[in-house]
Amino acid sequence: MKKLATLLLAAGLVFGMSAGASAIDFKAKGLWIMAFDYGQNGGFTGGNGQTGYARNGIGSGEDEFEARQRVRLQLDAVASESLSGTVFFEINNTWGRHDTGGALGADQTDRIALKNAYLDWVVPETDLKVRMGIQGMALPSFTTGSNVFNDDVAGIVLSYKFNDNAALTALWARPFNDNYNSTYYTSISSYRTNYMDNVDTVALILPLTFDGVKVTPWGMYTAIGPNATIGDLTKLSKLASSGYIVPGMLPAFGALHKDGTAVTKRLDSYGDAWWAGLTGEVTTFDPFRIAWDFNYGSVAYDDGHYDRKGWLASLLFEYKLDWGIPGLYGWYASGDDNDPSNGSERMPSFSNSNNNNGFASFAFNGNPLIGERDRVLSTNMTGTWGIGARLKNVSFVEDLKHTLRLNYIGGTNNTTMAKKYMTGTHGGLYNASSTRVSGPIGGPAAGLDPLYLTTQDGAVEIGLTTEYQMYENFKIYMDASYIATILDQSSSVWGNSHMNGASDQVRDPWNINLNFVYSF
């Protein structure tokens, strides 16, 4: 808290001096969130011996009941419509945890994060807008939110509006650079610190707007340095068989030979990744709305075992009524074939940590507030297909509305791949205690999704979200979600795959979340 007080004092002094020198308009925004969760079986295994909720199958060790809070503070320094600067801080605490500053005394550890810090300006005598700095970037979507890229990252965005029908956005982002330290692998003397460790991405987005129709084509390219890290210098991507180079850009199973054994070759050149998409909506027949997304992506390395390519399409039909918006929707994504040696046939993802999935908010990224107990199947929808129905923003009482959703989610991954995982030396499904567990449950040793669904597997998600506007700036949210698993436990898929006394039982995850949100 001392660091926060110093930070705010310094900001106040800067603002005070600037205000005396020029006519700068300072604006403040904020968000306070108090979140309470109670749930079980977040890793589909009842916690694997943990005392509580093991989200995403990685044994996070949370209790079944957790209390958290988040504070977001945004300060804007506005000189004019053509020039402004923004800084956005975020403070997270888990009640009772010393390492988050939430234990008795409340000041043991600072959890202040710089979420955004950017400069907005307009090129003189033009309509070209420029945003430079750490900011939120997202690729367009009219259905689920982007399953490719939606996160905070450092970079530059250029936006230009040609007319009422056409605009263009260009961006460059640098998510990773100067993180590689060769001293971690002294045997590789030829690779110096910060050598070929950058990841750079560029994208073009072309929004087209017509009467009752919006269409947005887009494309993105990324160069991936072989020494780019995943945020932990002890897990360098140079030894690619130990993990992802960039999360979601390697096959879910790492890199395997046909027999399931691990590929140990190090990558020595940049990887090339590219994505393209076409998304849009039709509202000509209002109150009827049709929306769709189509995405394709590919990542290629100097060793084809690590390649990944695939696609994802989604479609939404909804009809707006006075009391709510009923809708029907579906999606389909390509899945892995039966040969691990040719890489993966699932669409690569860049990062979608900020996404709020519009179809399945518990199975995939879906909680826009705290977001600690969603994405129990995966962070994105690759390797799955699904159909669903929802009643959105149903309201019969003033200031109170509900959203009810029902989804069936199936897998598109070949069943043979299950046995490749279970029999290969790099395969095998592990929990946090390095004990192999049964069923298609992932873990850090395997690098899989929390639940890897084959064409013989499925899951049913049921969810109810309620929003109550108590005051103008104060809302209460409650979300109750449950996933019923339908897995093939026969010997041809996942059956008889347990070891070390692990059970074949796969438990259904559920969670109830209550959020109190004050914003200004």
- The reported pLDDT for the residue numbered 437 is 36
Which one of 93-107, 210-224, 343-357, 373-387 scores highest in mean pLDDT?
A: 210-224
Amino acid at 28: A
> How remote is the C-alpha of 463 from its chain's centroid?
20
Q: Which two tokens stand for residue 370?
A: 């705290």
DSSP states along 119-162: EEEE-TTS--EEEEEEEEEE---SSS--SSBEEEEEEEEEEEE-
Structure-token match 């999935």, residue found: 357
Q: Is the pLDDT of residue 507 over 70?
A: yes
The bridge status of strand 167-176 relative to strand 458-471 is: unpaired
CB 147 within 8 A of CB 355: yes
pLDDT of the residue at 167: 97
Task: Report the pLDDT averaged over residues 220-243.
Answer: 55
Task: Name the residue with tokens 């890290």.
Answer: 229
Question: In the chain, pLDDT over 70 holds for what percent of residues?
Answer: 71
Q: Are strands 83-94 and 65-80 parallel, antiparallel or unpaired?
A: antiparallel
Band (139; pLDDT cuts 50, 70, 90): very high
* More confident position, 338 or 9: 338
DSSP H helical ranges for 80-128: none
Q: Which of 136, 131, 139 is nearest to 116 (CA)?
A: 136
Report whether pLDDT(500) > 70.
no
The answer on pLDDT for 13 being more than 90 is: no
pLDDT given for residue 420 in this prediction: 66
Closest alpha carbon to 62 in 113, 100, 90: 100
Task: Please state the rounded mean pLDDT for residues 311-329.
Answer: 97
Confidence band, pLDDT 50/70/90 cuts, at residue 250: low
Residue 302 burial by Cβ neighbours in a 10 Å radius (0-12, 13-18, 19+): middle
Across 115-119, 221-225, 227-231, 485-489, least confident range? 227-231
Out of 95-109, 290-304, 435-449, the most confident range is 290-304
More confident residue, 516 or 246: 516
Q: Residue with structure tokens 């209002």?
A: 286
- Give yes or no for residue 441 having a pLDDT over 60: no
Residue 23: which residues within 8 A CB-CB, separation 6 or more? 79
- Tell me the per-residue pLDDT of 163-196, one tens digit each, with 9 for 90 and over: 999 999 999 999 888 877 665 544 444 556 677 7
pLDDT band at 372 (very low <50, low <70, confident <90, very high): confident
pLDDT tier for residue 439 given thresholds of 50, 70 and 90: very low
Contact predicate 44/72, CB 8 Å: no
pLDDT mean across residues, the chain: 79
Give the three-class secondary structure for 434. Answer: coil
The answer to whether residue 234 scores a pLDDT higher than 50 is no
Average pLDDT over residues 320-348: 92
DSSP string, 310-378: EEEEEEEEEE--SS-EEEEEEEEE----S-GGG-B-SPP--B-TT---SS-TTTSS--SSS-SS--SS-
Spatial CA neighbour of 443 closest among 453, 427, 451, 431: 431
Query: From the CB of residue 520, how many other CB atoms can be counted at a distance below 10 Å?
Result: 10
Question: In whole angstroms, what is the distance from residue 250 CA to residue 230 CA?
Answer: 12
**pLDDT tens for residues 382-402?**
999 999 999 999 999 999 999
331/99: higher pLDDT: 331
pLDDT, tens only, 34-76:
999 998 887 776 554 454 565 544 445 678 888 999 999 999 9
| Residue 261: band (very low, low, confident or very high) from pLDDT cuts 50, 70, 90 | low
Tell which residue, 463, 466, 464, 459, has the closest CA to residue 440: 459
How distant, in Å, are the alpha carbons of 223, 280, 310, 311 from that of 277? 19, 10, 12, 9
Please check whether residue 26 is in contact with residue 19, taking contact to mean a CB–CB distance below 8 angstroms.
yes
What pLDDT is recorded for position 59? 43
